[in-house]
């Protein structure tokens, strides 16, 4: 569980760094990469919380 939390945190940090690179350089590939990382980080976080909620219910 701790590993998964760190993984999501690192993915969010990676998205933030990617958006910062986009702001500094204006290169659209960094924005695209940032959105992709953010999308997968949020999907994995929602899945993690869904498992926790399901664990409580059952």
pLDDT score for 56? 94
Kindly tell me the sign of the dihedral angle through the C-alpha atoms of 27, 24, 12, 38. Answer: negative
* pLDDT score of 1: 77
pLDDT tens digits, one per residue of 1-58: 788 889 989 999 999 999 999 999 999 999 999 999 999 999 999 999 999 999 999 8
Q: What pLDDT is stored for residue 4 in this prediction?
A: 85
- Burial of 55 (C-beta count, 10 Å sphere; 0-12/13-18/19+): exposed
Residue 12's pLDDT is: 94
Alpha helices by DSSP H, the chain: 2-25, 28-57
pLDDT at 5: 86
CB under 8 Å to 21, separation ≥6 — which residues?
Answer: 27, 30
| Token pair belonging to 5 | 């939390």
């Amino acid at each position: 569980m701790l590993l998964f939390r760190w993984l999501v945190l690192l993915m969010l940090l990676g998205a933030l760094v990617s958006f910062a690179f986009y702001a500094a350089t204006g290169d659209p590939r960094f924005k695209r990469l940032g959105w992709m990382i953010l999308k997968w980080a949020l999907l994995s976080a929602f899945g993690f919380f869904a498992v926790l909620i399901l664990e409580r219910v059952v």
